[in-house]
């Protein structure tokens, strides 16, 4: 290769730093103003370590996103392979693509050129599917060797299925083969070869030595979008208006990809474990590679097919490289597809297709929701599968049984609008269009259920989770569901602890003193599944389940089932509490009650302080198994006069929320807690406002409570005005069995500290009312 050709090539494909920098700024501004939520998953140093990055391809703008993220993280402007059609003419767009590092896929020196770039310290982005795979249909062909998957995708240009491109695999093998061969020569003292190749590559010898010592790492990565929307958007309407009508293909791309960008969409980019081509070579290959490097006149020689070489020794040594292409390609594809980010739409779509395969064309909505919930719980137990946050954060799916799970409702509503599913008589009816063939360019519009089902097909663990769910659903008891729902409570606690550990919350979090275990607990003594009595413990404002843990242990020692509720926003960070409403706290109590109920015949709720107010509100709805109620230190009136100013501070906080510094000053007040190991040190003003709302709601609900109730109140409580006990008694007109006991205490934490025998008083009250309920004659139903 002569010098003039090198100079022409270098000029033709020169990366322009100014163009790249401008593009980075433009994309950063665009990212801040569109609704796509881009998350990169994987070790932070993977982008810096990688040489070849391989991505699946579903939308056109994906061809820009990976380079953008790599440049942001590493400062390196990547090379990328783009369709040759974009470079057919020398125009502004083609020159722009070249300035960003784009190289046409039909360039005659494509792989040798990219190899030289990597050997000089560059990075390359490749899309081995060879084009957009709109149907997400990836077939895993049968092969005799189970560890060597053979994937294929549809090629629109050939109108046939084909294997994935091998360019990335060949690139990785030739680069590492070169490193192995040249390193072996240098190890034998042949420094002339080092000098020769440094001259060929136009790098310093010391730089080349450093490059040779580094492994060539290939990172297969998976890009997943959720959700898919098929409704018209402003981009498609504008294009249609100005062009006088779009082709069906262009209209589909404008609608689908416009929605991905401009309507709230999660784009999860997950880097798989690195693939090292060096592992493909055996000891004989390594000996042959040294000879191949020594005889090569340029990098181009290493990419020649073995059959094109003149001598048998050259063909044999070249075969040491090329025979590993297909296995390496297939291994990379397996890593790529295994890193799919599974979301609820994947599960629901594949579940529907499995029913259709069995000839089932309609399913009860309740049966559908229970099966889907079980599938979520099953797949959560699989460590090898990556889950979308909509299946990691229980808040996103626990409403599934009440038809209040937004992601499921959106999925179903979209399917109904597309004529894929019909709601009828409490059933989901699967329509013929679900199984009809859809054109490659229309399938995203016509049948996104098929697209989702196709996308998750290579993930065997998901199939197993769905099969288990279908097998379990008809035999599952309420207790089985309750165990899974308690697991959701633990996961919610873990999720929010992790969410609010971010650096931006450090100012408040660093001041926190709570060290007690703040997770919710379900204590079923001796592993039993049935109890006469269950105790639901509800802690107070700023605290956590740890506040009543000791009392719960005493109940468990007596053989009662115990559930310690974690009120939403508690036991994690004051920042979470700042975002919760009192109705979220009440929902926590109700979920705790529903979890405990299947394990016992009767339930007594013990609520402390704010927990008492929430317990009273729940009791006013007359839950079926509720036997009695204990309210300890429950407020109707507070002694802290600062609470008078909460509405004013809350309003100011809402007004000033756009000013971070002002928000930090107005959002929290220091809490001098009696129990700093349990309570938050910082009180969110928003939380105080919600506390007032909860107390006001309790006041409205008190007349509706009917169950026997014990009220305990410290006579010198410095937080809750002791008059609250008498006020509650006066308002609770529906309770015929109500006992108010004033304790000798100037502290608020009467249960936690067991002041004036508070815990024993509750134990006696519970024992008395359990015995009383046993003595009551059972109602005789009319025949």
Q: Roughly what angle, to the nearest 10 degrees, separates helices 110-119 and 167-187? A: 50
Instruction: Please tell me which residue, 102 or 644, carries the higher pLDDT value.
Output: 102
Q: Shortest CA distance to 748 belongs to which of 671, 670, 646?
A: 671
E strands, 402-551, in order: 421-424, 427-430, 521-523, 531-538
Angle among Cα 466, 343, 453 to the nearest 5 degrees reads: 60
Query: What class, spelled out in words, does domain 501-775 have in CATH?
Result: alpha beta
Signed CA dihedral, 174, 177, 181, 183: sign only: positive
CA distances, 224 to each of 56, 265, 266, 419, 523 (Å): 9, 10, 8, 25, 40
pLDDT for residue 30? 87
Summarize the confidence of residues 415-429 as an average pLDDT: 95
- pLDDT at 61 (0 to 100): 83
pLDDT in tens, 355-403: 999 999 999 999 999 999 999 999 999 999 999 999 999 999 999 988 8
- Burial-class residue 96 by CB neighbours within 10 Å (0-12, 13-18, 19+): middle
pLDDT at 757 over 70: yes
Q: How confident is the model at residue 550 (pLDDT cuts 50, 70, 90)?
A: very high
Cα gap 773→770, rounded to integer Å: 5
Type and span of the H or E element at 770 = helix 758-775
Burial of 454 (0-12, 13-18, 19+ CB in 10 A): buried
pLDDT for residue 644 is more than 60: no
Which pLDDT value is given to residue 717?
A: 94
Considering the entire predicted model, what is its pTM? 0.90
pLDDT at 669 (0 to 100): 87
Do 740 and 731 contact (CB within 8 A), yes or no?
no
Exposure of 153 by Cβ count < 10 A (0-12 exposed, 13-18 middle, 19+ buried)? buried
pLDDT of residue 587: 97
Q: Where are the domains of the chain?
A: 3-335, 340-476, 501-775
What residues contact 781, with CB distance under 8 A and at least 6 apart?
Answer: none
Please name the residues in contact with 160: beta carbons below 8 A apart, sequence gap of 6 or more: 154
What are the Cα distances from residue 306, in Å, to 312, 316, 317?
9, 7, 8
Question: How confident is the model over 497-523, as a mean pLDDT?
Answer: 95
SS (H, E, C) 250-267: HHHHHHHHHHHHHCCEEE
124 alpha-carbon distance from chain centroid = 28
Structure tokens given for 64: 């820009």
Helices (H), 191-295: 191-201, 205-213, 234-243, 248-262, 283-295
Alpha-carbon distance of 336 to 338, in angstroms, equals: 6
- Scored b (16 or more CB within 10 A) or e, 694-715 reads bbebbbebbebbbbbbbbbbbe
What is the reported pLDDT for 239?
53
Structure tokens at 396: 């996103």
- pLDDT tier, 252 (very low <50, low <70, confident <90, very high otherwise): confident
Residue 782 clears pLDDT 50, i.e. is over it: no
**How far does CA 314 lie from the centroid of its chain?**
51
Asked whether the predicted pLDDT for residue 429 surpasses 60, the reply is yes
Write down the residue that tokens 């083609």 correspond to. Answer: 94
Q: Can you tell me the mean pLDDT for 508-533? A: 96
pLDDT tens readout for residues 30-53: 888 888 999 999 887 899 999 999
Instruction: Give the Cα separation of 735 and 625 in Å (integer).
Output: 17
Cis peptide before 578 (omega within 30 of 0): no
State residue 232's pLDDT score.
Answer: 66
- pLDDT at position 653 over 70: no
Gyration radius (Cα) of the chain, Å: 33
Supply the pLDDT for residue 662.
44
76-80, 210-214, 767-771: least confident range: 767-771
* pLDDT, average across residues 644-661: 46
Query: Distance (Å, rounded) from C-alpha 203 to C-alpha 280?
Result: 27
In contact, 618 and 585? CB cutoff 8 Å: no
Report yes or no: 255 and 236 within 8 Å, Cβ to Cβ. Answer: yes
More confident residue, 543 or 261: 543
Mean pLDDT of the chain, nearest integer: 89
Report CA 617 to chain centroid distance, whole Å: 34
Q: Please tell me the predicted confidence (pLDDT) of residue 21.
A: 94
Beta strands 36-41 and 626-632: pairing type? unpaired
**What integer is the mean pLDDT of 259-287?**
89
Residues 6+ apart with CB under 8 A from 266: 36, 37, 39, 224, 225, 226, 343, 388, 389
């Amino acid at each position: 290769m002569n010098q003039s050709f090198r100079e022409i090539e270098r000029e033709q494909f020169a990366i322009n730093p100014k163009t790249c920098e401008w593009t980075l700024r433009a994309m950063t501004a665009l990212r801040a103003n569109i609704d796509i939520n881009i998350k990169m998953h994987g070790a932070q140093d993977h982008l810096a370590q990688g040489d070849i990055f391989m991505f699946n391809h579903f939308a056109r703008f994906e061809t820009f996103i990976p380079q953008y993220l790599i440049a942001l993280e590493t400062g390196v402007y990547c090379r990328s392979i783009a369709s040759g059609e974009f470079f057919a003419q020398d125009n502004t767009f083609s020159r722009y693509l070249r300035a960003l590092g784009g190289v046409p896929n039909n360039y005659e020196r494509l792989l040798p050129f990219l190899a030289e770039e990597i050997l000089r310290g560059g990075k390359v982005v490749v899309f081995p599917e060879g084009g957009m795979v709109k149907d997400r249909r990836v077939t895993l062909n049968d092969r005799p060797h189970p560890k060597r998957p053979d994937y294929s995708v549809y090629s629109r240009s050939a109108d046939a299925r084909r294997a994935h491109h091998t360019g990335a695999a060949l690139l990785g093998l030739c680069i590492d083969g070169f490193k192995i061969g040249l390193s072996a020569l240098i190890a034998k003292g042949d420094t002339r070869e080092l000098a020769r190749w440094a001259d060929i590559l136009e790098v310093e010898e010391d730089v080349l030595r450093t490059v040779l010592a580094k492994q060539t790492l290939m990172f297969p990565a998976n890009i997943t979008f959720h959700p898919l929307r098929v409704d018209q958007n402003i981009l498609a309407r504008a294009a249609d208006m100005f062009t006088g009508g779009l082709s069906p293909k262009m209209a589909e791309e404008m609608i689908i990809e416009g929605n991905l960008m401009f309507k709230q969409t999660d784009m999860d980019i997950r880097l798989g474990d690195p693939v090292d081509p060096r592992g493909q070579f055996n000891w004989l290959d390594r000996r042959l590679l040294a000879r191949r490097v020594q005889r090569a006149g340029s990098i181009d020689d290493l990419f020649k097919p073995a059959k094109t070489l003149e001598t048998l020794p050259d063909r044999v040594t070249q075969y040491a490289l090329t025979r590993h292409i297909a296995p390496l390609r297939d291994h990379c594809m397996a890593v790529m597809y295994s890193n799919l980010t599974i979301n609820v739409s994947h599960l629901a779509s594949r579940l529907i297709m499995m029913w259709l395969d069995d000839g089932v064309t309609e399913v009860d909505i309740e049966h559908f929701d229970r099966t889907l919930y079980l599938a979520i719980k099953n797949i959560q137990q699989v460590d090898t599968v990556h889950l979308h946050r909509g299946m990691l954060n229980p808040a996103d799916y626990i409403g599934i049984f009440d038809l209040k799970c937004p992601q499921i409702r959106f999925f179903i509503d979209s399917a109904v609008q597309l004529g894929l599913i019909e709601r009828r008589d409490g059933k989901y009816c699967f329509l013929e269009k679900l199984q009809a063939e859809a054109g490659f360019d229309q399938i995203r519009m016509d049948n996104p259920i098929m697209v989702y089902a196709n996308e998750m097909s290579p993930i065997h663990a998901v199939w197993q989770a769905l099969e288990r769910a279908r097998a379990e659903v008809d035999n599952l008891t309420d207790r089985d569901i309750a165990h899974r729902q308690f697991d959701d409570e633990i996961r919610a606690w873990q999720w929010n602890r992790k969410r609010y550990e971010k650096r931006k919350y450090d100012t408040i979090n660093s001041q926190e003193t709570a060290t007690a275990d703040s997770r919710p607990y379900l204590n079923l003594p001796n592993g039993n599944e049935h109890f006469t009595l269950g105790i639901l413990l509800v802690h107070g404002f700023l605290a956590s389940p740890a506040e009543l843990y000791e009392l719960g242990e005493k109940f468990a020692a007596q053989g009662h089932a115990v559930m310690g509720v974690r009120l939403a926003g508690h036991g994690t960070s004051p920042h979470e509490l700042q975002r919760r409403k009192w109705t979220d706290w009440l929902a926590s109590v109700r979920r705790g009650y529903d979890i405990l109920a299947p394990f016992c015949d009767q339930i007594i709720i013990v609520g402390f302080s704010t927990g008492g107010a929430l317990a009273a509100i729940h009791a006013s709805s007359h839950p079926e198994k509720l036997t009695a109620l204990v309210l300890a230190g429950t407020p109707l009136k507070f002694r802290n006069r600062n609470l008078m100013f909460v509405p004013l501070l809350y309003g100011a906080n809402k007004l000033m929320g756009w000013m971070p510094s002002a928000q930090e000053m107005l959002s929290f007040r220091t809490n001098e807690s009696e129990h700093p190991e349990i309570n938050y040190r910082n009180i969110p003003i928003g939380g105080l406002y919600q506390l007032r709302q909860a107390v006001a709601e309790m006041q409205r609900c008190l007349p509706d409570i009917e169950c026997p109730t014990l009220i305990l109140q410290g006579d010198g409580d410095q937080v809750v005005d002791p008059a609250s006990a008498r006020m509650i008694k006066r308002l609770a007109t529906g309770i015929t069995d109500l006992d108010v006991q004033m304790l000798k205490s100037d502290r608020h934490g009467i249960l936690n500290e067991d002041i004036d025998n508070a815990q024993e008083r509750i134990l006696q009250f519970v024992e008395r009312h359990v015995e009383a309920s046993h003595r009551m004659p059972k109602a005789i139903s009319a025949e």
